[in-house]
Structure 1
Amino acid sequence: MSAEAQMIARRRFAPFVLIVALFFLWGVANNLNDVLIAHFKKLFTLSDLQAGLVQSAFYLGYFCLAIPAALFMQKQGYRAAVTLGLCLYGLGAFLFWPAARAESYPFFLGALFVIASGLAFLETSANPLIARLGPEDSASQRLNLAQAFNPLGSIVGVVIGSRFILAGIDHSPAEIARMPDSALAAWRAGEAAAVQMPYLLIGIGVVAWAVLIRITPFPAIATATNVEEDVGAASDFGALFRHPPFLLGVAAQFFYVGAQVGVWSFLIRYAQDAAGTSDRTGANYLTLSLVLFMLGRFAGSALMARLPALSLLKGFAAIGCLLCVFATAVHGLPGVGALVASSFFMSIMYPTIFAESVHGLGAKTKSASALLVMAIIGGAVFPALMGFVSDTSGSIAFAMLVPAACFAVVFLFGLVKARRAP
């Protein structure tokens, strides 16, 4: 490496670390939702469909703010989009304090929408920035490496939730129904307050990170406005909508995120129903699944040095599908184990679909990134669908056929994309 190349690498190290850390930070928020579903279901006496609205409100924020994020990047650049995203993330976290005081489920859903709006800016900017910080041919490998830090944040989020939010007394619905009004009011106030301090500290942390990013020198690729790229123009999006391989990538991302969010959202519920565990034990299974997810990211990144990314994607999607079918057919701890194991095989899907979808798009990468982030709305659709299936069938296990079908779509994407590859 030449002296000039070494100097460029040193200048980019601090910005690279700051951006990679964003993958950790949105992992914390994403998987705290899985704990909140179990917590709110108990606190507000919700059906599975109503509890699934936690994810619906959250991922709706991604859908609504992805294109505005791309337009903002056109005017202000990547770093400004990241800074605004972190500020919105912090604001949503701070709103948990008054939502808990009000003991209002809709208020909590609104706060989650604000958090997700900030994450839409972060994901729309961080993913393409990482993808373009090097050769296109290694974009999938680079994104998988960066995203390996996302499940670490997810693990931290679940640990925070299980230790501080689910730390109260685990009353059954029958016990809650028999409580005197005064005792019920006191218990609900305590359970609602359990979310205040974790989210307050998260809010302070992400706002501090925004300040750090704002004062750190970044390379030109992160600060340039790129107005000449005409990001977000109608013609830009029109060209993408006339590009079938890219649209298939958007569909694959929609179904993949739905599968991932659906499995994790109801893993605690599945463990309680199928294996008779407590909610905290179920949270431990969720933590284990996230550890496997993180290991899968590192393993997948290493395997892609030897195997084509699309071949690995097809194999992992097929295994994920079979594991969800197994969890539907076989209950108890084996079914829980199958769902936990599926997280390892989910690990490479999001970054691989993302990188393969934007491959070769050049100036349209930012606009394509916005549409791929909008596809995260699958996380709003499929948990609610799983809750509906569970409520109508009387079995959360039967609802696991929904993510099984989603993984089948991801397999189809890998199959079609590999056949089209030159």
Structure 2
Amino acid sequence: MAGSIPNSGLSSTGAPSNRRFAFIVMTSLFFIWGFITALNDVLIPHLKAAFELSYLEAGLVQFCFFGAYFVVSPFAGRLIEKVGFKKGVIFGLLGIAAGCCIFYPAAELEIYFVFLFALFVLASGITILQVSANPYVVILGEARTAASRLNLAQAINSLGHTLGPMFGAALIFGGAAVVTAEAVQLPYIILAGVALATAGIFTFLKLPVIENTETTSQSDTGNDSVWQHKRLVFGAIAIFMYVGAEVSVGSYLVNYFAESHIMSMNNYEASKMISYYWGAALIGRFIGAALTYFIKPNIILAVNSVLAIACIFMSVSSEGPVAMWTILAVGLFNSIMFPTIFSLAITGLGKLTSRGSGLLVQGIVGGALLPLLQGLVADLSSVQMSFLVPACAYIYISWYALSGSKTDAADTAAINQAEEQKV
């Protein structure tokens, strides 16, 4: 059996059947934000061509999208402390709908920076959604199966990532003789409608309530801070590195496969290949959901990070199909990283769980910064060599798996208090 996830000091009420229903409806949210996030991989080459951007300028798409995580996450954690997880989900969905709607006037005006603003608003909604849904899934059931449960939910997220590029390739690139900004209007209006409909459904759903199970002294956060939990802080950096690496790889696949010595694909063909990258993550997360039930999550995390590094080095040192399939295989080893890092880092936080979740989601800003760095390297050298940027990020993740994720004094004290309260 995998190492258990200690009691966080929060628990869910309701019968097991109600918790199963809540888990099922929560996974729909993982699908939605995965679907929308993956569209950025199609949006980047489209806007690059429409506005004649450099790789660095095109990387501003991910900078504005994932930059929202850094700005909004601390406020999202406090919002959920006040309104609860369910209302946090509804606020997040409304934010997504608002961001999607801004794409329409952005395309009419044909101003790149209006697109970037739309992406920031859209990602702000996704941030609130993630700060609500990730810890909810961790808490919604037995502590020992938290990593497995979150891996399964992230598998549904990967399904959204897999289908998103197909949707974007068909509606944005499919059949278009000329690249225009207006091609993005229809897909994002459709997504706005889906987000609004989902928010309406969640308004009427009855979900298990998350309750605090700590004593007054135990829940006194005046003498405790998220910054005292090294495993959490190191975990936030690991999330930064992981999301940055995953997004960096996906962001430049279309341009990579267009290179003459790789596959010489056009944008439409290359966009469809992105689905293999996210599809590999989908398969890996289903496998990971099973493996983390029997094997310690940090061991699986270490093995996957080393294999991801190996695949990148094989890709940058080869050409043709070998270069293409080895970089796509990175998606398979990405699969369990986010849910495993998240569940390892958030344990033992008690009433700090929401704020800890906010800090971890704030680490997603790596998706804003590493693609910019990779874009700069691509401009200075080549797209192929730029993939060494995410390879460096996986080195840190392997260290976190083997050393940084170990329980420290603050975590041990919180876990012991939780166990004493249970007795």
Return the match for 2:26 from 19, 32, 51.
19
1:268 aligned to 2:254?
Answer: yes
Deviations 1:335-366 (A, max 9, x none): 11111111000000000000000112222111
1:215 aligned to 2:201?
Answer: no
Deviations 1:129-181 (A, max 9, x none): 000112222211110011110011112211111111012446xxxxxxxxxxx
Residues in 2 aligned to 1:324 and 1:229: alpha-carbon distance in whole angstroms:
49
Contact in 2 for aligned 1:60/1:377 (Cα 8 Å): yes
Residues in 2 aligned to 1:232 and 1:279: alpha-carbon distance in whole angstroms:
55
* Amino acid in structure 2 at the alignment position of 1:285: M
Contact in 2 for aligned 1:57/1:112 (Cα 8 Å): yes
Return the match for 1:123 from 127, 130, 133.
130
Aligned to 1:406: 393
Residues in 2 aligned to 1:75 and 1:400: alpha-carbon distance in whole angstroms:
42
1:256 aligned to 2:242?
Answer: yes
Residues in 2 aligned to 1:208 and 1:107: alpha-carbon distance in whole angstroms:
25
Aligned to 2:156: 149
Deviations 1:349-399 (A, max 9, x none): 000000000112222111100000000000000000000000011x10110
Residues in 1 aligned to 2:209 and 2:307: alpha-carbon distance in whole angstroms:
42
Structure 1: which 5+ runs fail to align? 171-186
Q: Percent identity?
A: 34
1:202 aligned to 2:191?
Answer: yes
Residues in 1 aligned to 2:207 and 2:237: alpha-carbon distance in whole angstroms:
34
Contact in 1 for aligned 2:13/2:208 (Cα 8 Å): no
Task: State the Cα distance separating 1:420 from its structure 2 match.
Answer: 5.0
CA RMSD of aligned residues (A): 2.3
1:233-382 mapped onto 2 (5 Å cutoff): 235=222, 239-273=225-259, 274-382=262-370
1:392 aligned to 2:380?
Answer: yes
1:126-205 mapped onto 2 (5 Å cutoff): 126-169=133-176, 187=178, 191-205=180-194
Change in CA separation of 1:45 and 1:168 when aligned onto 2, cut-off 3 Å? farther
Contact in 2 for aligned 1:162/1:280 (Cα 8 Å): yes
1:113 aligned to 2:113?
Answer: no
Task: State the Cα distance separating 1:216 from its structure 2 match.
Answer: 1.1
Structure 2: which 5+ runs fail to align? 1-11, 413-423
Q: Which protein has the bigger helix share?
A: 1
Aligned to 1:64: 71
Residues in 2 aligned to 1:109 and 1:92: alpha-carbon distance in whole angstroms:
10
Contact in 2 for aligned 1:158/1:283 (Cα 8 Å): yes
Return the match for 1:75 from 73, 79, 82.
82
User: What SS class does the counterpart of residue 252 from structure 2 fall into?
Assistant: helix
* Amino acid in structure 1 at the alignment position of 2:360: L
TM-score (norm 2): 0.89
Change in CA separation of 1:6 and 1:62 when aligned onto 2, cut-off 3 Å? closer
Task: State the Cα distance separating 1:278 from its structure 2 match.
Answer: 1.0
User: What SS class does the counterpart of residue 16 from structure 1 fall into?
Assistant: helix
User: What SS class does the counterpart of residue 148 from structure 1 fall into?
Assistant: helix
User: What SS class does the counterpart of residue 275 from structure 1 fall into?
Assistant: coil
Task: State the Cα distance separating 1:7 from its structure 2 match.
Answer: 7.6
* Amino acid in structure 1 at the alignment position of 2:265: T
Change in CA separation of 1:208 and 1:244 when aligned onto 2, cut-off 3 Å? same
Residues in 1 aligned to 2:376 and 2:218: alpha-carbon distance in whole angstroms:
42
Residues in 1 aligned to 2:219 and 2:198: alpha-carbon distance in whole angstroms:
27
Task: State the Cα distance separating 1:88 from its structure 2 match.
Answer: 0.4
